[in-house]
C-alpha cells in the first residue's frame, strides 16, 4: 500500500432518517357503518451504522464521503398498515477504528472485532396511527402522531492499526529497511530523514506457517510533544501493539540516551505505553567489526535496562534471532494476578 493510499483520519457529517407519520385514517367500507379508526404506524427512520470489515486496512474509501444520509421511514396507511422502515446506511470501517464525536471529542465506540456493528445515529421513531388512541370515550380519534426527526452528528473516524509489534525510533534508524527485509511490504527507503510519512504494515512469516504483524511508525524526534517533526499524529498506531521494538543505529552518539529520549516522548503522549513489552534492536551493525561490537556491548550492558539484540537488515545479520525473540515475547503466557 502506498503512502498516498493510507488514510487514517476522516471527518464526516451523518444524518439518520426521520420516522414516518402515523395515519389518521377512518375505516370506510361498503356495508360497514362507522368502521372506526384503522390508521397504521409510521416506519422507523434509517440508522447510520458503522460495521467492521476485516478486508479493509485504511479509511481511503471514506476520504471523499463527507455526508452520509439514511432513508426516511414511510407513513402509515389504512387497515393498520405500518409504513416501511427507512433504509439503513452502513459505514464499512477496518478493525481498529475509533469513532469520536467531533464536537465533544468523546469516544463513542472502538471497532475491534470482526462483524461488530455500532449505531452512530439512530433513526427517528415512527409516529403512532390513530388506532392506538381509540378509547371507550373517544371512539373516533381523528389524529395521529408525526414521526420523530432523525439525528445529525459530526463524527471523526480515527484508525489505530492492529499490529503485534510496533517499530519505534528516530528518523533514518532503519525501520523501513527492516520491514522490507522481514516482510513483503515495500516501504519507501532513502538516505534522508522522514522518508516514512505514513505507517506501513507488514506480515512476518515465522516458522510452521505462523505469522505476526509489524507496524513501521514514522520517526519520533525529541520535542515531538511540542509539535516538532511529525509530532504525535501517528503514535496512536502503537497503542494497540503488545510489543514495542526500539530501533537505534549502532553509530548513534549515545544509544542509552537515545532510548531514554524515545521513552520520554512516549510517556508524554501516553504513560500506559511504558507498560508494554520492550526490546531494543541495535541496527546497522554491519558497520562494526568484532572489536567495536564487543566494546559497544560492554557499554550497553551497563547502561541499557532492557534486553537488546545486534542486527543488520542489509547484511541479513541477527534477523532470525530477532524474529525468535519477538515471537517468544508475543506468545508469553499471561501472568496471573
The CATH number of whichever domain residue 153 belongs to comes to 2.70.210.12
Residue 298, classed as helix, strand or coil, is: helix
Q: In this structure, what are the phi and psi dihedrals at residue 328, rounded to the nearest 5 degrees?
A: -65, -40
Q: Annotated binding residue at 196?
A: yes
Q: From 161, 192, 227, give the residue that closes a domain.
A: 161
Q: Annotated binding residue at 195?
A: yes
Greater pLDDT, 49 or 333? 49
Same domain, 170 and 319: yes
3-state helix, strand, coil in the chain (%, to 5): 25, 25, 50
Same domain, 248 and 157: no
Q: Annotated binding residue at 174?
A: yes
Examine the pLDDT at 35 and tell me if it is beyond 50. Answer: yes
Instruction: Cell numbers for 16, please give them.
Output: 439518520
Q: From 111, 141, 161, give the residue that closes a domain.
A: 161
Q: Does residue 3 lie in a domain region?
A: yes
Start-to-end Cα distance in the chain: 41
Same domain, 90 and 218: no
Examine the pLDDT at 275 and tell me if it is beyond 70. Answer: yes
Which of 81-90, 261-270, 307-316 is the most confident on average? 81-90
Same domain, 278 and 177: yes
Confidence band (pLDDT; 50, 70, 90) for 223?
low
CATH of the domain at 242: 3.40.50.300
Same domain, 209 and 148: no
Domains of the chain: total: 2
DSSP β-bridge partners for residue 282: 248, 310
Same domain, 117 and 173: no
Q: Annotated binding residue at 140?
A: no
Largest CA distance in the chain: 109
Same domain, 323 and 294: yes
Same domain, 259 and 149: no
Same domain, 213 and 235: yes
Q: Annotated binding residue at 323?
A: no
Q: Annotated binding residue at 176?
A: yes
Q: Does residue 336 lie in a domain region?
A: no
Range of the domain at 80: 1-161
Q: Annotated binding residue at 171?
A: yes
Q: Annotated binding residue at 320?
A: no
Examine the pLDDT at 290 and tell me if it is beyond 90. Answer: no
Same domain, 6 and 150: yes
- Give residue 336's pLDDT: 42
Q: Annotated binding residue at 170?
A: yes
Amino acid at each position: 500500500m502506498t503512502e498516498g493510499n493510507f488514510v487514517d483520519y476522516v471527518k464526516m457529517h451523518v444524518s439518520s432518517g426521520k420516522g414516518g407519520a402515523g395515519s389518521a385514517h377512518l375505516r370506510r367500507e361498503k356495508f360497514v357503518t362507522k368502521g372506526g379508526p384503522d390508521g397504521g404506524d409510521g416506519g422507523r427512520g434509517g440508522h447510520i451504522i458503522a460495521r467492521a470489515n476485516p478486508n479493509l486496512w485504511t479509511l481511503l474509501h471514506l476520504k471523499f464521503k463527507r455526508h452520509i444520509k439514511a432513508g426516511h421511514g414511510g407513513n402509515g396507511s389504512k387497515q393498520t398498515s405500518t409504513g416501511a422502515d427507512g433504509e439503513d446506511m452502513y459505514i464499512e470501517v477496518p478493525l481498529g477504528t475509533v469513532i469520536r464525536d467531533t464536537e465533544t471529542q468523546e469516544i463513542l465506540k472502538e471497532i475491534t472485532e470482526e462483524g461488530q456493528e455500532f449505531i452512530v445515529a439512530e433513526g427517528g421513531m415512527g409516529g403512532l396511527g390513530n388506532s392506538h388512541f381509540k378509547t371507550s370515550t373517544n371512539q373516533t380519534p381523528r389524529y395521529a402522531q408525526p414521526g420523530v426527526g432523525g439525528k445529525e452528528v459530526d463524527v471523526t473516524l480515527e484508525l489505530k492499526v492492529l499490529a503485534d509489534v510496533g517499530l519505534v525510533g528516530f528518523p533514518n534508524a532503519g525501520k523501513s529497511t527492516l520491514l522490507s527485509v522481514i516482510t513483503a511490504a515495500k516501504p519507501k527507503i532513502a538516505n534522508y530523514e522522514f522518508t516514512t510519512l505514513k505507517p506501513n504494515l507488514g506480515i512476518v512469516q515465522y516458522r510452521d506457517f505462523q505469522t505476526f504483524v509489524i507496524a513501521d511508525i514514522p520517526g519520533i524526534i525529541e520535542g515531538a510533544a511540542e509539535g516538532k517533526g511529525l509530532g504525535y499524529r501517528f503514535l496512536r498506531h502503537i497503542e494497540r501493539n503488545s510489543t514495542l521494538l526500539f530501533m537505534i543505529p549502532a553509530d548513534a552518539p549515545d544509544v542509552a540516551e537515545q532510548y531514554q529520549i524515545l521513552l520520554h516522548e512516549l510517556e508524554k503522549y501516553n504513560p500506559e505505553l511504558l507498560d508494554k513489552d520492550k526490546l531494543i534492536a541495535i541496527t546497522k551493525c554491519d558497520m562494526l567489526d568484532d572489536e567495536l561490537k564487543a566494546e559497544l556491548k560492554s557499554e550497553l550492558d551497563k547502561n541499557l535496562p532492557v534486553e537488546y539484540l545486534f542486527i543488520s537488515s542489509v547484511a541479513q545479520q541477527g534477523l532470525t534471532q530477532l524474529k525468535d525473540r519477538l515471537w517468544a515475547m508475543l506468545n508469553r503466557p499471561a501472568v496471573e494476578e
